[in-house]
Amino acid sequence: MKYFISIIMLLVILGGKAGFAQDTTETTQESTPAAEATVDEKISEVKGQVEGLNDSFLEVKSIVDALAKIKVSGYVQAQFQSAQNDNVKSFAGGNFPTLTHNRFQIRRGRIKFNYDNALTNYVLQFDVAEGGFSTKDAYITVKEPWLKTAELWAGIFNRPFGFEIEYSSNTLESPERTRMFQTLFPGEEDLGAKLELRPPEGPLSIFNLKLGLFNGNGIAAETDNNKDFIGRFGISLPFTEANLAIDAGVSSYIGKVQLDPSTSTTTYKIFKLDTPNTTPVAQAADVQSADRQYLGGDVQLYYDIPVLGGFSLRGEYISGKQPGSKSDNKFYARGAGDVYLRNFAGYYINYVQNIGNDNQLIVKYDVFDPNTDVKGDDIGRVGGNAKLGWADIKYTTLGLGWIYHWDSNVKFVLYYDLVTNEKINSAATSSTVANGSSDLTYKNDIHDNVLTFRVQYRF
């Protein structure tokens, strides 16, 4: 506006000077060509300056518009933990080191960059913690512009299975996800592509569908030609007048673990542990892969209790087949050694009650049985199945916690995990237990409860 007013004033002054000069000469005398050229040059000069300023403004505006599309967020979780014993194997932030039962940790240190261009998105998220630097998310999304219902994802992102995987770690009330999800989906992310259908309005807007194909190795490089299918069909039912909302979904995982062809034909076998007291079935040596199949259901209920505050009640159940190793039941990619194909089942129930505006009470109960075909007493039984070990033991965990929200950025979490394991056969000896004498400690409940005090800052 200042430049515009200056230009007007300059033109008025120049016009006044020209009129005054013309009045002081004879009326029959016209302005000389030289005078006209001088005025034109000045006007051209001013015009060029204005156009230059306009170009500079447009250039700066384009930069500002681009920067406005970039969103930066992140959080840090600093915590102190104390376990019942040294060297506890824990799902509450990882195993404790030898001769150690308490520790300080930076559990997560995330920084996320999101370039939001309306119908397209570009996302990068990194984790910087005591364990080092790692990539958590790296993906793009493209939404069709007509109905704005279909969206394509490609890159590294959360597996679209159930509820808890895609529930962000900075809003998760318990310090960690359940043992079931940490076992079946360690790291949460995988590398692949996903199609998401979610109508923005209309009667179908209560439904959503996610269908994806993934490498099946987490964010590690691909090791075979198999691709794993993961999908979830969900529904959201709002009951606004009743202060109630219900969400639910059904999920499926269908994949395979490729066996290593470079090993000898006697190295890889698949043990189906479905008969507790007999020798496991060893499939033919030419078996090339083991099935990984999960089926799950999840429900979330949200209700606002007058005076007290809102609460949420969430639950999930998953069962299926899980390939593993002799001593581990976790998500299994390609490796050396025999493959154990176990039937598993697990579930959790999570209750969160708001107390006023700043406090939350958490009660969480989860169960994971990595081998539903056997009981704890079958493990180590004299004359029983020598292939059974601690990787077949069932666990239950009761979590009790309190959250205090200091402000919109900071929250404090106090949480206690009470962990109980199945007890193996009381007559077990090192010769009757598949994984060695260390399994004999599971004749009793392992003292592996963990207390966590966490401070989180997010922006």
- SS3 readout for the chain: CHHHHHHHHHHHHHHHHHHHHHHCCCCCCCCCHHHHHHHHHHHHHHHHHHHHHHHHHHHHHHHHHHHHCEEEEEEEEEEEEEECCCCCCCCCCCCCCCCCCEEEEEEEEEEEEEEEECCEEEEEEEEEECCEEEEEEEEEEEECCCCCCEEEEEEEEECCCCCCCCCCCCCCCCCCCCHHHHHHCCCCEEEEEEEEECCCCCHHHHEEEEEEEECCECECCCCCCCCEEEEEEEEEEEEHHHCEEEEEEEEEEEEEEECCCCCCCCCCCEEECCCCCCCCEECCCCCCEEEEEEEEEEEEEEEEECCCEEEEEEEEEEEEEEEECCCCCCCCCCCCCCEEEEEEEEEEEEEEEEECCCEEEEEEEEEEECCCCCCHHHCCCCCCCCCCCHHHCCEEEEEEEEEEECCCCEEEEEEEEEEEECCCCCCCCCCCCCCCHHHHHHHCCCCCCEEEEEEEEEC
| Domain co-membership, 87 together with 48 | no
Which residues share a beta bridge with 157? 190
| Domain co-membership, 100 together with 26 | no
For position 21, what pLDDT does the model report? 42
DSSP class of residue 437 equals G
Q: For residue range 23-34, list pLDDT tens digits in order.
A: 444 444 444 555
- Asked whether the predicted pLDDT for residue 255 surpasses 80, the reply is yes
For position 57, what pLDDT does the model report? 67
Q: What is the mean pLDDT of residues 68-85?
A: 96
Highest mean pLDDT among 27-31, 53-57, 267-271: 53-57
| Domain co-membership, 52 together with 75 | no
| Domain co-membership, 280 together with 197 | yes
| Domain co-membership, 48 together with 160 | no
In a domain, 380, yes or no: yes
Q: For residue range 307-325, list pLDDT tens digits in order.
A: 788 999 999 999 999 988 8
For position 17, what pLDDT does the model report? 42
Q: For residue range 163-210, list pLDDT tens digits in order.
A: 999 999 999 999 999 999 999 999 899 999 999 999 999 999 999 999
In a domain, 64, yes or no: no
Q: What is the total count of domains within the chain?
A: 2
Q: Are 449 and 83 in contact (CB under 8 A)?
A: yes
Buried b vs exposed e over 85-117: b needs ≥16 C-beta within 10 Å?
eeebebbbbeebeeeebeeebebbbbbbeeeee
Whole-number mean pLDDT of the chain?
Answer: 85
| Domain co-membership, 39 together with 162 | no
In a domain, 66, yes or no: no
- Asked whether the predicted pLDDT for residue 56 surpasses 50, the reply is yes
Range of the domain at 19: 2-57
The confidence band for 261, taking pLDDT boundaries of 50, 70 and 90, is low
> What whole-number percentage of the chain has pLDDT above 90?
59
In a domain, 62, yes or no: no
**C-alpha distance from residue 364 to each of 32, 296, 351, 387 (Å):** 94, 19, 6, 33
Q: Which residue has the tokens 């009640």?
A: 313
In a domain, 338, yes or no: yes
The confidence band for 247, taking pLDDT boundaries of 50, 70 and 90, is very high
In a domain, 317, yes or no: yes
Q: Which residue has the tokens 């080092």?
A: 132
List the CATH number of the domain containing 178: 2.40.160.10
| Domain co-membership, 143 together with 278 | yes
Distance of CA 187 to the CA centre of its chain: 8
Contacts of residue 167, defined as CB under 8 A and 6 or more positions apart, other chains included, come to none
pTM recorded for the entire structure: 0.84
Q: Which of 94, 99, 63 shows the shortest CA–CA distance to 79?
A: 94
| Domain co-membership, 216 together with 256 | yes
| Domain co-membership, 121 together with 18 | no
The confidence band for 346, taking pLDDT boundaries of 50, 70 and 90, is very high
For position 278, what pLDDT does the model report? 53
| Domain co-membership, 11 together with 117 | no
- 155 vs 433, residue with greater confidence: 155
Buried b vs exposed e over 219-232: b needs ≥16 C-beta within 10 Å?
beeeebebbbebbb
- Asked whether the predicted pLDDT for residue 459 surpasses 70, the reply is yes
| Domain co-membership, 350 together with 441 | yes
| Domain co-membership, 13 together with 98 | no
Q: Phi, psi (5° rounding) for residue 286?
A: -90, 10
